[in-house]
Structures are given as C-alpha cells and as structure tokens.
Structure 1
C-alpha cells in the first residue's frame, strides 16, 4: 500500500564542510559586491569634489565636502574604512577646501 520512505543517508563531515565553504563563498561575493559599490560611491564624491575645487566653485565644493564627510564617517562606522583613514581623508579634503576659500 504505502511505500516506505527511504531515509536520506547522513551527510558526512566532509560533505558538510564543502557545503559550508560554498555558502561562505557566496556570502563573501555578495559582501564584496556591496562594499565595492560603496567604495565606488566614495570615489565618485572625491572626484566630484576635486573637479569643483579645480573649477573654484566654493559653495558647491562645500556642499560636496559635507556629503563626503558624512559618507566617510558612515564607511568608518560600518567597517568599510578604518576610522583613522576616514579622518585623514576628511582632513585633507578640508585643507583643499580652505585653499579655495582663501
């Protein structure tokens, strides 16, 4: 009448490790893509700021500086950048902006 269900063979430890490695690799690739996107956003803001400073546009440069400063703080908070790296970049950015304002 009712067929007996065949029990699945237990996975061996080697198989479990292999599956875990595959999962971790997928997770790592997703995280890498996400971080790369965020790094590209920071680079885009830095390029934009350099162009504005070169053009001598003070108000737009100041606005972009605020955006970039906030983005750097968030990147440091989430671990994308070391906090001292973010601070160093903000300091250099402020020096460049001060040269334009002077």
Structure 2
C-alpha cells in the first residue's frame, strides 16, 4: 500500500508486542543498516532517532524501499516511519497528538 499510494510517511501507534500479545508483524528493519525483503521489495533502515527531544518515546526511522516497477526498472523511495512506542493500548498517549501530526507533515 505504501508503494501503491506513494506514501512518504507511516505512523505506527503500537509496539509489535504489547503485554505479551502480538499486535503487529515487524514489517520494517528495526536496526540501522539492516534490510528486510518481502517478495522482491527490499526495505533498508537508514537512520533511527527520537522524533524530537520533547517526544523521546516516538522513534523516527528513515527507510529506503527498493522495488522493481512493472516495466522492469528499479526505484528507491524514502519513507519516514514514526513509531509511538508508549501509546497505551485502548488509551490516550502521554504527550500531545498535535506535535506528532506537525512532525509527520
């Protein structure tokens, strides 16, 4: 969907595992320099940092997604992946949502 819609930003509001339950499959590499491959699509993690000093619980990963287009050419797209690591399950986050929206834009 990220490729189809030409998304530049992904916002993830959970951890992959919370309270011992699987909430999300790890669809991106969580370490810098790591690459995950899914059916001809390679996702590389170029950088990880806190979204801002004020929001250290939101991790920003810069991902490079490499894929082959229908015409056989290869394309690489850069995508920002924000992960809000302390958003409580069925709850309200401890920091303001507006700051997250501003950074994501």
Normalized against structure 2, the TM-score is what? 0.23
From the two aligned structures, give the one with the greater strand fraction. 2
Larger-Rg structure: 1
Normalized against structure 1, the TM-score is what? 0.23
